[in-house]
Amino acid sequence: MNKTEMYISIHYAEAFISDRRQPLWERIVQLLSADMQRVKEIDLLCYCHQTNPDPGMIGCSKIRNELNLTGVFPLVVGQSGSLSFTNILTILNWLFACGSHRRALCVIADSRLKAIGAETNSYLTQISIVCVTEEHGDYKIEDHRKDKGSQRTCLTDSAAEPFLQLYRQEKNRAIDENEQITLHFEAGEFGRSELKLRRMSFSSFNGRLEN
């Protein structure tokens, strides 16, 4: 398989704790509605998750319908811990390389009951919205590969978390042009993967969703 060039930009990332489970799709639709101009440019809507935050609701389909993205091809990957995002990247590489699609918006979302600490019985929600294209972006994907995992059961890791960390890092300090960043996705029994990114020039950094 020949790898095609892929670029990513983090549009938005957030984590919050709440005392009851709120419909996650509502928050995602709210976030995406704030940037419809860019959302309308996509030809793939990807939903990556491990938990099922909205029981009885098919998340990607709901978001696709709410935003009237009925011409956009949906892809949903779950059941693989934090590898859900790198699994989507594997598929995007195929679709971009064959020329059928060019621009994907990946919604990475999980919500789970916190099991330990003072906030037991409250929900931790993590959302990252990442654009993947073959044309341009804040970071060039230099490599992503799956490796052997451990036997450790990994119930909680969300693929949203590494992007959340990078998003915060970007806000705290400017990331140098050409700086290499490695994101780690530790999915325990599902395996693990590394995503190696290279910061592109700042001129390609053209705004993101505002909360």
Q: Which of 83, 107, 130, 166 binds another protein (CB under 8 A)?
A: 83
Q: Which of 102, 100, 104, 63 is nearest to 87 (CA)?
A: 104
The stretch among 9-17, 121-129, 143-151, 171-179 that binds another protein (CB under 8 A) is 143-151
Q: Which of 75, 130, 141, 159 binds another protein (CB under 8 A)?
A: 75
Q: Which of 4, 211, 208, 175 is nearest to 105 (CA)?
A: 208
145 binding another protein? (CB under 8 A) = yes
CB closer to another protein out of 148 and 171: 148
Q: Which residues pair with 173 in a beta bridge?
A: none
CB 184 → another protein: shortest distance, Å? 16
159 binding another protein? (CB under 8 A) = no
Tell me how far apart the 2 most distant CA atoms of the chain are, in Å: 50
103 binding another protein? (CB under 8 A) = no
Backbone angles phi, psi at 36, to 5 degrees: -65, -30
The stretch among 32-40, 90-98, 130-138, 198-206 that binds another protein (CB under 8 A) is 90-98
Interface contacts to another protein, rule CB under 8 A: 1-2, 4, 47, 56-62, 64-65, 70, 73-80, 83, 86-87, 90-91, 94-95, 97-100, 145-149, 151, 153, 155, 189-191
